């Protein structure tokens, strides 16, 4: 009678007395032996937790030309920076898919130099759309040396962990973009009695992060404290891309080019310097003069630059990219069943004002908002309006020059 009421596994029908442990569910039971067999089958099929998560990194390998072609859809110009990024990311993919070999491929971190509004952050965000590895963007201005008010440098990796749902194995194959790296430059070459906790102190804290080592990361970011549970992350295979405006570095480049020209007249005679764009000659020596320590520069071996935006580039930014500003506003008007048309001379006038007041690519949105604000306010309430034409006269009338002057960069 006892045997008839004894519990048994719903899969193998072994009795409770014949197995080590029997797990009871809502409508059945399963024994430990069946669970072990199921686990082995999952591993053989390659669909266990870790394997399923890590698989996408090796799924498809984008060639450098494919990566650059994708960037071309969103970013105007900046050929050198796009090629550098494409090659670095392609090599990063190859390094992740590398099988055990005698030669281990090291990572090559990148530092990008370019004026504000030239597209450094846009490049990083566009890359994030394409990649199949975790990608995170961090801002260097919030970091301070350990023990001071502000965030620890390790919280950069907290953002990467959050991007891949705290899968450490996947995070260790990710890419991190650190913006505003120039803001942590050494404030002065002279030693001081006070510590430079938000400048050189941050650079020193970033050294082991960039080179590749095991780092204890606070899962939620921010400041570490003794009772907090830490996550150990190995940064050996994480690619770091840094970007900054480095305002005033062109003067340092000019000084270096002039001093190095002494005694080499035969070389400089055949080499015309493009004084309108000195950033193309930037190297590690100039970045060191700006305030980055040599140890940090050694861990950022690839230096690339972004060209200043001229009139042609700014006009192309308004109309050509996949998410061009004029296309965005046409879409906004189309949602109200209104067709927006823009004159070429109106576009030229916007570009002239952006250059005049040194607003860069970001300033074009401010200009468009000033011009179209009244139309976007009034037209949704008006019945029977199906078209709106943006002419040069309307543009001049609505553009408030005094507001633009307040936004002018120093």
Is residue 50 domain-resident?
Answer: no
Pairwise CA distance, residues 261 & 239, whole Å: 36
Q: Between 268 and 397, whose confidence is greater?
A: 397
Pairwise CA distance, residues 151 & 144, whole Å: 6
Reported confidence tier of residue 96, pLDDT bands at 50, 70, 90:
confident
pLDDT, position 59: 46
**pLDDT tens string 237-272:** 899 999 998 988 988 888 888 765 444 444 444 356
Q: What percent of the chain has pLDDT over 70?
A: 81
Question: Are both 241 and 137 inside the same structural domain?
Answer: yes
Domain end residue (candidates: 266, 284, 305): 305
pLDDT, position 100: 67
**pLDDT tens string 310-340:** 899 999 999 999 889 999 999 999 999 999 9
Question: Are both 315 and 301 inside the same structural domain?
Answer: no
Q: Which of 143-147, 279-283, 341-345 has the lowest mean pLDDT?
A: 143-147
Is residue 267 domain-resident?
Answer: yes
- In 3D space, the residue among 215, 234, 214, 235 whose CA is nearest the CA of residue 299 turns out to be 235
Is residue 53 domain-resident?
Answer: no
Domain containing residue 402: 311-407
Summary mean pLDDT of the chain: 81
Looking at the predicted structure, is the pLDDT value of residue 118 above 60? yes
Compute CA 116 distance to the chain's CA centroid, rounded to the nearest angstrom.
15
Q: Could you give the number of structural domains in the chain?
A: 3
Question: Are both 387 and 297 inside the same structural domain?
Answer: no
**pLDDT tens string 58-90:** 446 789 999 999 999 999 889 999 999 999 889
pLDDT, position 48: 44
DSSP line for 58-113:
GT----HHHHHHHHHTT--S-HHHHHHHHHHHHHHHHHHTPPS-SSPPPP--EEEE
Question: Are both 323 and 384 inside the same structural domain?
Answer: yes
Question: Are both 155 and 9 inside the same structural domain?
Answer: no
Is residue 52 domain-resident?
Answer: no
Is residue 380 domain-resident?
Answer: yes
- In 3D space, the residue among 375, 362, 373 whose CA is nearest the CA of residue 400 turns out to be 373
Question: Are both 166 and 200 inside the same structural domain?
Answer: yes
Looking at the predicted structure, is the pLDDT value of residue 226 above 50? yes
> What are the backbone angles phi and psi of residue 177, rounded to the nearest 5°?
-105, 120
Domain end residue (candidates: 256, 276, 305): 305
């Amino acid at each position: 009678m006892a045997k008839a009421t004894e519990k048994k596994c719903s899969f193998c029908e072994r009795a409770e007395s014949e197995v080590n442990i029997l797990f009871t569910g809502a409508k059945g039971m399963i024994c430990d032996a069946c669970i072990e067999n199921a686990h082995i089958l999952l591993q053989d099929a390659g669909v266990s937790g870790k394997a399923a998560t890590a698989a996408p990194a090796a799924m498809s390998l984008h060639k450098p030309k494919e990566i650059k072609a994708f960037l071309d859809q969103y970013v105007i110009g900046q050929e050198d920076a796009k090629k550098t990024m494409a090659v670095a990311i392609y090599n990063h993919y190859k390094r992740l898919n590398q099988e055990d070999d005698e030669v281990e491929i090291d990572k090559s971190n990148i530092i990008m130099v370019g004026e504000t509004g030239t597209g450094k952050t846009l490049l990083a965000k566009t890359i994030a759309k394409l990649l199949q590895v975790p990608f995170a963007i961090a801002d260097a201005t919030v970091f301070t040396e350990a023990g001071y008010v502000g965030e620890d440098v390790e919280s950069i990796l907290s953002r990467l962990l959050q991007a891949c749902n705290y899968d450490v194995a996947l995070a260790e194959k990710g890419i991190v973009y650190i913006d505003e790296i120039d803001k942590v430059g050494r404030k002065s070459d002279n030693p001081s009695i006070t510590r430079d906790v938000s400048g050189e102190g941050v650079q020193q804290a970033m050294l082991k992060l960039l080179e590749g080592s095991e780092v204890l990361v606070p899962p939620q970011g921010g400041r570490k404290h003794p009772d907090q549970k830490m996550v150990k992350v190995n940064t050996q295979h994480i690619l770091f891309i840094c970007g900054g405006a480095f305002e005033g570095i062109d003067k340092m480049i000019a000084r270096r080019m002039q001093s190095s020209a002494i005694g080499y007249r035969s070389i400089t005679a055949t080499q015309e310097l493009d004084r309108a764009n000195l950033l193309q000659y930037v190297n590690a020596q100039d970045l060191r003069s700006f305030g980055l320590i040599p140890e940090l520069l050694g861990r950022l071996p690839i230096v690339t630059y972004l060209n200043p935006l001229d009139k042609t580039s700014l006009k192309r930014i308004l109309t050509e990219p996949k998410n061009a500003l004029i296309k965005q506003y046409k879409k906004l008007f189309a949602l109200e069943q209104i067709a927006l048309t823009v004159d070429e001379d109106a576009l030229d006038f916007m570009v002239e004002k952006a250059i005049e007041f040194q607003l860069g690519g970001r300033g074009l949105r401010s200009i468009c908002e000033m011009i179209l604000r009244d139309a976007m306010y009034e037209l949704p309430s008006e019945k029977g309006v199906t078209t709106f034409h943006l002419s040069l006269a309307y543009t001049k009338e609505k553009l408030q020059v005094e507001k633009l002057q307040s936004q002018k960069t120093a």
